[in-house]
Amino acid sequence: NAGVMQNPRHLVRRRGQEARLRCSPMKGHSHVYWYRQLPEEGLKFMVYLQKENIIDESGMPKERFSAEFPKEGPSILRIQQVVRGDSAAYFCASSPGGVYQPQHFGDGTRLSIL
Amino acid sequence: RKEVEQDPGPFNVPEGATVAFNCTYSNSASQSFFWYRQDCRKEPKLLMSVYSSGNEDGRFTAQLNRASQYISLLIRDSKLSDSATYLCVVGEDSNYQLIWGAGTKLIIKP
């Protein structure tokens, strides 16, 4: 399956711990997007990355959240010192680039904070 | 004003009926348009791209009205499995991102 791969599918953390979410884009896709979805709410854009570059992080909270897409390996969304409000589904999408190309999504990571 | 607006619904529709919903966008320079569907607690999946000439895929028809700045999705002979949230997505040349609507919830009843 050459689709977008996210792991883990489910992640449980206690308040104050760190959460690391991984995303491997589809083969041939160099653009990665992270979204957050709270229960019963819509998708909220967080960050857009290309290899080794953050293009737009306007949707990401200024504190505790960071993202990277290294030259080798998956994109990582990192949440430090998690709080209850971070509980959500985090989706990663990838595309070949450009607004004419649709984004393809991974299955998401469900983050639960105890 | 939101950049991409959708009626949140829910639209409650009997099985077999035809249902249509629109999505309006604010930027007249928008260049690309898509419909996605999202099932409860699942990832969004691309339903269809929307072209200037309109396009059809089985029971689904998408139209673009540039003059009035909206796109539409028509579902004929609706099935129970069509129950989902339908997301409208718009792309702009000046903005490398796709702009997502909040979605329209559709419930098909037997």
pLDDT digits (tens, 9 = 90+) for B78-103: 999 999 999 999 987 666 778 899 99
Distance CA A25, CA A92 (A): 8
* pLDDT digit string, tens, across residues B3-37: 899 999 999 999 999 999 999 999 888 889 999 99
DSSP string covering A41-94 = S-EEEEEEEETTEEEE-TTS-SSSEEEE--SSS-EEEEE-S--GGG-EEEEEEE
Q: Which of the pair, A39 or A69, is modelled with greater confidence?
A: A69
* pLDDT digit string, tens, across residues A42-58: 899 999 999 999 999 99
User: For residue B83, what pLDDT is reported?
Assistant: 97
Core vs surface per residue A82-91: b (16+ CB within 10 A) or e: beeebbbbbb
Judged by CB atoms within 8 Å, which residues 78-107 of B form the interface with A?
A: 87, 89, 91-93, 95-98, 100-103
From first CA to last CA, the distance across chain A in angstroms is: 33
Q: Strand, helix or coil at B80? A: helix
Judged by CB atoms within 8 Å, which residues 29-58 of B form the interface with A?
A: 31-32, 34, 41-46, 49
Asked whether B16 and B71 are in contact (CB, 8 A), the reply is no
A74 touches chain B (CB under 8 A): no
**H-type helices in chain A, by residue range?**
none
The bridge status of strand B104-109 relative to strand B11-14 is parallel
